A and B are shown apart, each in its own frame.
Chain A
Amino acid sequence: MQQIINFIIRNKTFLLFLLLFVISLIFTIQSHSYHKSKFINSANFLTGGVYNSVSNINRYFNLKSQNDILIEENRELKSVLYSHENKNDTSFIKQPSINKSYKFSSANILKNSYSSTKNVLLINKGWADSIKQDFGVISSKGLIGIIDNTSKGYATVISILNTTSKISAQLKKTNHFGTLTWNGNSPYEVQLIDIPKIAPVQVGDTIVTSGRSSIFPKGIPIGIISDFELDIAENYYEINIILFNDMTNLEHVYIIENIDISEINNLLNNRNNE
């Protein structure tokens, strides 16, 4: 016993180093697996507050470009609205059914990041605004990510520019679907894998969300195909996609809540239990 205590006292620096190193390794490994980084995240009072006050200042410098983006979005929405009105009245009956299962709310990006391999964004809405984990986040141009941790006034978003992010996506013209991933190279490109060989893939085709994950509704634009090749087994395509979104310049985003998600999850869990 005496020797053990002596050993600990003699090597206390090394043991402390080992302890701290292992703790940080555990945090690191947690952050590498999806939805596990509970303790170390920027959605808390202190970091959220700091980022919020800085973003209040920074926002003035982006006013012009952000206004242009919002005007562009308004123009598109207006053109959709008026072209529908002229066609026929049945479109108005369709419209409420979309609004019923998905609820949209708006938020601002406080911290954007795109240079590391695990990019996480911070937004200024939290559980006080009934934002929860696994809500989808989009911008006017396309997909951004999925909510991870929430605090009272802030939430972190796992960006699609994160090597752990996996989102179901499909070709717009057919229903062949695959998984959206990122290889960490360019903030303007993501990869779509597991598209079967039989799918008619062409450069320039549009990729949209598939709606299978019950996080995003079907048909949110993601990007267009820049090039593609068969994987090593030659059964599936690996497709490079150029994003519609400029992930380096984000400010106004929308959070999507699927109102039916508990019902869907119950149904799936029941099937698993049987």
Chain B
Amino acid sequence: MNSVLYSNILRYVMLVGIQVLILNNIDFLGYINPYVYILFIILFPIKNTRVLFLLFSFLMGLTIDIFSDSGGIHAAACVTIAYARPIFLKFCFGTIYEYQTIKFDNVDFGSKLLYISLLTVTHHLILFSLEIFNISKVILTLQKTLFSSIFTIILCVLITVIFSRRTK
């Protein structure tokens, strides 16, 4: 239990640091930034209670918001995907999730990619709708969502592959 706690705290600090100091300054093609900090929500242990998970996700989003002066958009998007995560888990992993024996290092690549993509696209859609906050600019919202999602998904998959501890 303690090692899980410490590894999550470490992950929290590392992801906030990387996101705020490096990734927010990429501005690829002028506006495309990856939001890799949602890995915290993607990889959060499943066995924990959902109330705690929601609170931690909110805290994560709020930290990013304070650093990037963006009101509450990251917090809102994070809380939403944290609440919706069990649905996505059930959809992507099926029975493994039902028996609570899921380990992200050991699931097959296809369903992991699907899971990460679904969470990322949902998160980015809420994020950019709230950031732009304008129905007449729906094209800009979708455009930002699409390009940033591609960037985020690639980075998230790469990070999970590089840092996975595969035990067979």
Chain A positions near chain B (C-beta within 8 angstroms): 12-14, 16-17, 20-21, 23-32, 37, 40-42, 44, 47, 50, 54, 113-118, 120, 122, 156, 184, 186-187, 248
Contact = CB atoms under 8 A, between A and B. Distances in A.
Nearest to A112: B25
Interface SS of chain B: helix, strand, loop or mixed?
Answer: helix
Nearest to B137: A184
Given A17-B80, A122-B69, 14 more contacts: A12-B51, A17-B82, A20-B58, A21-B80, A24-B76, A26-B72, A31-B72, A42-B69, A50-B20, A113-B24, A115-B32, A116-B31, A120-B69, A184-B132
Nearest to B26: A115
A111 B116 CA distance: 30
B110 interface: no
A186 B82 CA distance: 33
Nearest to A37: B71
A24 B66 contact: no
A24 B62 contact: yes
Interface in B1-51: 20-21, 24, 27, 30-33, 50-51
A190 B3 CA distance: 51
B58 A114 contact: no
Given A47-B67, A117-B132, A13 B72 contact: no
B167 to A, nearest CB: 32
B73 interface: yes
B157 interface: no
A252 B2 CA distance: 47
A53 B50 CA distance: 36
B75 interface: yes
A184 B133 CA distance: 12
Nearest to A248: B27
A113 B68 contact: yes
A135 B116 CA distance: 45
Kindly name the residue among A44, A184, A186 whose own CB sees the greatest number of chain B CB atoms within 10 A: A184
A116 B79 contact: no
Given A32-B133, A54-B21, A115-B33, A16 B54 contact: yes
A116 B131 contact: yes
19 contacts: A12-B51, A16-B54, A17-B82, A24-B72, A24-B75, A25-B130, A28-B71, A28-B76, A31-B71, A31-B72, A47-B66, A113-B68, A114-B27, A116-B70, A116-B131, A118-B131, A120-B69, A156-B69, A184-B132
A41 B69 contact: yes
